Structure 1
């Protein structure tokens, strides 16, 4: 395994870091409220970062999402790349790729996903979908939703053909409740496409969590190095050092497992168990890290307006989105026992 970024991946990551760093400031995040930053989304698409994911692969996307997570930038970057660009590129027909990929690349088409909540959606013989998904991330920004039905098939639905109601989640993800009432839908890919898209999403969101944790820890380190107690920096205390060291190791565990799953997908190797491993670390360790980041800020960490609190909210939302650790671990164990790693 070689996780060293290519020149293209490095260039895309550095460009993303600059754009997120310049435009996703605490002041702009506060002004955006619970919605998305339309100007930032336009800048990312104009810079070609969404379209570039087709060339830099899933590992490249994980690198880009780390930069988004560091600043908790409120844009539908992860969902549109995973459920839109990568899903359509890998599993769409020639006609679907020609019709959808240019719009996804320039931001005119935004795709989100209603996976793995398949139990509440069923497909009729002609493809109409009926059911409800209580919370879909970035639904308020989306033009299309990639929906999984009860038989683990993928369907692409236009949000104009569904009822989308705003829902407030822990993090400001412009989420919504999706209600389908015999909504027209087009199939995407063969039955096996569901497992690939789900594993891709788990890997990508783990990468996003790695960035959220890195950003939270960086803020905690800066705070404890400058905040003094009894004439000494907080960072000089052994208890603080140990908490920060544990958080660093947890963050690196999330990062390396996400890198491995992404690298394996790009190399055409089975990676479903690796994606679940990354999801487990992102869920379990991610919650620990953002709690540590807030705790090391002392009373300031309890301030809802403090930037570190935003990392805490994102970390807990990603924890919930990926699934609690015991559920992910059970699914991982069942997959290992069955020996059937389809993707």
Structure 2
């Protein structure tokens, strides 16, 4: 395994760090409320970072999403890249790629996915879809939605045909309820496409959680280094050091498992169990880290307007989106048992 980023991946990550750092400030996030920062999204697309994902792969995307997570930047970066660029690029027909990829690259089209839901949508013989998904991230911004049916076949629909109803989630992900009533869809890929896209999504959102946790911990370290109690910085207290150390180790575990799964995905190696492992760490450890970040801020951590509270909200939302640790472990155990039996 080689997790050292390529020159292209390094340059993309550095550019992403500058853009997110410059534009995803506390003031701008507060002004955005629960919506998307349209100016930030335009900047990301204009510099070619969205289009670059096709070249730098899933591992490169994970690196970029870490930078987004550090700043809790409110843009549909993960969703549009995983459910749009990568999904269409890997599983679309030649005609679909020619028609859809240019707009996804420049950001004039935004994709999201009704994942990990399956079984709630029924597909008719004419390709029309019926059913309801309680909430889909970034659906309010999307032009296209990738939807798995009850047989786990993938369908691409136009968001305008679904009339999404806004839903507020724990984190400000511009989510909406997806209601389909004979909505026309076009098939994307073969019977293997669902598992491939789900694997990529788990890895990508685990990478996003690694960044959220790193940002939360960095804020906690900065705060405890200057906040004094009884004449000494909080950071000199052993209990504070131990909590921070545990959070650091948890964050590194999320990062390295996401890197491994992404590297294997890019290399064409089996990675379903690795993606589930990364998802489990992101869910379980991610929750611990963002709770620690908030706790180490003391009373400030309870302030809903404090920047660290955004990391708490994102961490809990990612836990819910990834599927919670117990469910992921159950799925991982079942998959490992099948592989062992084979």
TM-score, normalization: structure 1?
0.99
In the alignment, structure 2 segments of 5+ residues that lack a partner are none
Question: Counterparts of 2:119 and 2:5 in 1: how far apart (Å)?
Answer: 38
Question: Counterparts of 2:149 and 2:339 in 1: how far apart (Å)?
Answer: 24
Matching residue of 2:53:
53
Assess, with a 3 A threshold, how the Cα gap between structure 1 residues 139 and 183 changes in structure 2: closer, same or farther. same
Matching residue of 2:224:
224
Question: Counterparts of 2:118 and 2:239 in 1: how far apart (Å)?
Answer: 45
Matched, 1:244 2:261: no
Matching residue of 2:208:
208
How far did 1:163 drift?
2.0
Matched, 1:308 2:308: yes
Matches within 5 A, 1:129-278: 129-278=129-278
Matching residue of 1:81:
81
Question: Counterparts of 1:122 and 1:21 in 2: how far apart (Å)?
Answer: 43
1:249-289 Cα distance to aligned partner (Å, 9 max, x none): 00000000000000001001010000000000000000000
Matched, 1:334 2:334: yes
Assess, with a 3 A threshold, how the Cα gap between structure 1 residues 145 and 340 changes in structure 2: closer, same or farther. farther
Matching residue of 1:323:
323
Question: Counterparts of 1:272 and 1:153 in 2: how far apart (Å)?
Answer: 18
1:75-99 Cα distance to aligned partner (Å, 9 max, x none): 0000000000000000000000000
Q: Are the equivalent residues in 1 in contact too, given 2:110–2:141 (CA < 8 A)?
A: yes
Q: Secondary structure of 1:125's match?
A: coil
How far did 1:340 drift?
8.3
Question: Counterparts of 1:155 and 1:116 in 2: how far apart (Å)?
Answer: 14
1:8-67 Cα distance to aligned partner (Å, 9 max, x none): 000000000000000000000000000000000000000000000000000000000000
Matches within 5 A, 1:120-131: 120-131=120-131
Question: Counterparts of 1:340 and 1:271 in 2: how far apart (Å)?
Answer: 15
Matching residue of 1:21:
21
Matching residue of 2:112:
112
Question: Counterparts of 1:161 and 1:39 in 2: how far apart (Å)?
Answer: 26
How far did 1:303 drift?
0.1
1:193-248 Cα distance to aligned partner (Å, 9 max, x none): 00000000000000000000000000000000000000000000000000000000
In the alignment, structure 1 segments of 5+ residues that lack a partner are none
Q: Secondary structure of 2:331's match?
A: helix
How far did 1:174 drift?
0.3
Question: Counterparts of 2:305 and 2:72 in 1: how far apart (Å)?
Answer: 14
Q: Secondary structure of 2:164's match?
A: strand
Q: Are the equivalent residues in 1 in contact too, given 2:119–2:152 (CA < 8 A)?
A: no
Q: Moved runs in structure 1, 4+ residues, more than 3 A?
A: none
Matching residue of 1:97:
97
Question: Counterparts of 2:113 and 2:17 in 1: how far apart (Å)?
Answer: 25
Question: Counterparts of 1:71 and 1:162 in 2: how far apart (Å)?
Answer: 31
Q: Secondary structure of 1:330's match?
A: helix
How far did 1:152 drift?
0.6
How far did 1:119 drift?
1.9
Matching residue of 2:41:
41
Alpha-carbon RMSD across the aligned residues, in angstroms, is 1.1
